Amino acid sequence: MLYIDTVESEVLVHKPWFVGIIFALVLALSLMFNLTDTTLGELMRPVIGDPQASGLYGRFATGLVLAVLFCLNIVLIGFAQFKVQVAVVWVELLSLFLAFFNAFDLSLPFIWEKLPILLSQGLFTTIYVAAVSIFFACILAVFGAVAKLSGNGFAFAISSFYTSFFRGLPLLMQLYLIYLGLPQLGIVLDAVPSGVLALSLCYGAYMTEIFRAGIQSIDRGQWEASRSMGFGFGLTMRKIILPQALPVIIPPTGNNFISMLKDSSLVSIVGVWELMFLARSLGQATFKHMEMLIAVAFIYWILSVCMEFVQARIERHYARSKIR
Q: How many CB atoms are located within 10 Å of the residue 64 CB?
A: 17
Q: Enumerate long-range contacts of 241-247, CB under 8 Å, 24 or more apart.
A: 241/215, 242/215, 244/218, 245/211, 245/214, 245/215, 245/217, 245/218, 246/214, 246/318, 247/315, 247/318, 247/319, 247/322
What's the confidence (pLDDT) of residue 62? 64
How many residues are present in the chain?
Answer: 324
What's the confidence (pLDDT) of residue 57? 58
- Residue 9 scores a pLDDT above 60: no
Lowest average pLDDT, out of 14-28, 165-179, 233-247, goes to: 14-28
What's the confidence (pLDDT) of residue 48? 44
What's the confidence (pLDDT) of residue 60? 63
Q: How many CB atoms are located within 10 Å of the residue 101 CB?
A: 15
| pLDDT per residue as tens digits for the range 138-170 | 999 999 998 998 888 899 999 999 999 999 999
CA torsion through residues 74, 80, 84, 86, sign? positive
What's the confidence (pLDDT) of residue 24? 52
What's the confidence (pLDDT) of residue 199? 95
Q: Residue 175: pLDDT band by 50, 70, 90 thresholds? A: very high
What's the confidence (pLDDT) of residue 36? 43
Could you give all domains of the chain from N- to C-terminal order, each with its CATH number?
2-102 (no CATH), 108-323 (1.10.3720.10)
Q: Residue 302: pLDDT band by 50, 70, 90 thresholds? A: very high
